[in-house]
Amino acid sequence: MPNRELEEQSASETPEAAEPAKPRRRGRRRIAAAGGGVLVLGGAATIAVLAVNGSGGPPKPDLARVPPDFRTFASALPWPTDGETALWADGVGDLGTCGKQTAVPIASVAKVMTAYVVLRDHPLTGTDPGPDITVDDQAGFEAFSRDESSAPVRSGQRISERTLLELMMVPSANNVARLLARWDAGSEPAFVAEMNAAAAGLGMTDTVYTDAAGFDAATRSTAADQLKLAESALTDSTLLNLTAQHETRVPDDPTLLPNTDSLLGTDGVVGGKTGSSTPAGGALMWAAHRTIGGRDRLVLGVVLHQNAGTTSEQGLARALTVSRRLIAALG
């Protein structure tokens, strides 16, 4: 069964057999360079240079809300040059944002809100497994999907709330996210309404959820908004511990389902949630313990829209790479 996040591929992206195209002579354009010179560039190079020069180079981090004592530290971090990023540290507050904070698809990072709402409605404490939930026919059928991530649950199976939350958060099972939504609210649309109400309550003004799994590209948010969620969700020990599992499995099934977050356990990373699709690119919400200002702190970060428009694998690889650099530089 697929146990990783798969890209949403449109028919137009499917390669088709075609006769080799005849080489075309690329036009060349002259653009003024700094100092009054003239650069002569081919089409692709022109676009690249204009993109950089037109934006004034890589985006600079916005440190307006960072406490003055930490601004020099934050400004020296290796901020990603693509997509958007937001950071927060316990005892410090905001560590800044980078990139235009525009609502973009967030893929399976949406499952953090799903878990947050489920645990709000059905709290778990300690090692309490919670109530057993019956796997319905829809979740069992979706377990065979080849188009999205899923867990091999079976119709009629009884699985605890805690285990289902692990299956949603660790291997990122979309069928389990929808099952939990139906169990919690009676239907997925009713649950999505709860997700949006929770987002509004957290001040996530640039966020809209349209599904419980994040598979719908219309589920959109910003890094700054998702950081607001992280401050509530990943500071809750129960939810954080669910994301900290390196692997999980469906009861009575020996197949181990690994965590999609390969940063877990490195550089102080103690939890988080991945997301990836062609529209979203790569996305990652993470929590890590780092030494800042001479003391150990829980640091939260959100990176969105990395290599959007490529494959989910390429996007996720980029999100993991830029996050690793940030986390390592934090101390």
| Domain at 61-329, CATH class | alpha beta
SS3 letters for the chain? CCCCCCCCCCHHHCCCCCCCCCCCCCCEEEEECHHHCEEEEEHHHHHHHHHHHHCCCCCCCECCCCCHHHHHHHHCCCCCCCCEEEEEECCCEEEEEECCCCCEECHHHHHHHHHHHHHHHCCCCCCCCCCEEECCHHHHHHCCCCCCCCCCCCCCCEEEHHHHHHHHHCCCCHHHHHHHHHHHHCCHHHHHHHHHHHHHHCCCCCCECCCCCCCCCCCEECHHHHHHHHHHHCCCHHHHHHHCCCEECCCCCCCCEECCCCCCCCCCEEEEEEEEECCCEEEEEEEEEEEECCEEEEEEEEEEEECCCCCHHHHHHHHHHHHHHHHHHCC
In this prediction, residue 56 has a pLDDT band, given cuts at 50, 70 and 90, of: low
pLDDT tens for 66-78 read 999 999 999 999 9
**In contact, 285 and 112? CB cutoff 8 Å:** yes
Report whether pLDDT(32) > 70. Answer: no
Distance, CA of 185 to CA of 35 (rounded, Å): 64
Query: What is the domain partition of the chain in residue ranges?
Result: 61-329
pLDDT tens for 155-168 read 999 999 999 999 99
Look at residue 16 in the predicted model and tell me its pLDDT. 32
| Predicted structure pTM score | 0.84
Number of Cβ within 10 Å of residue 120's Cβ equals 15
Look at residue 274 in the predicted model and tell me its pLDDT. 98
Report whether pLDDT(302) > 80. Answer: yes
pLDDT tens for 262-291 read 999 999 999 999 999 999 999 999 999 999
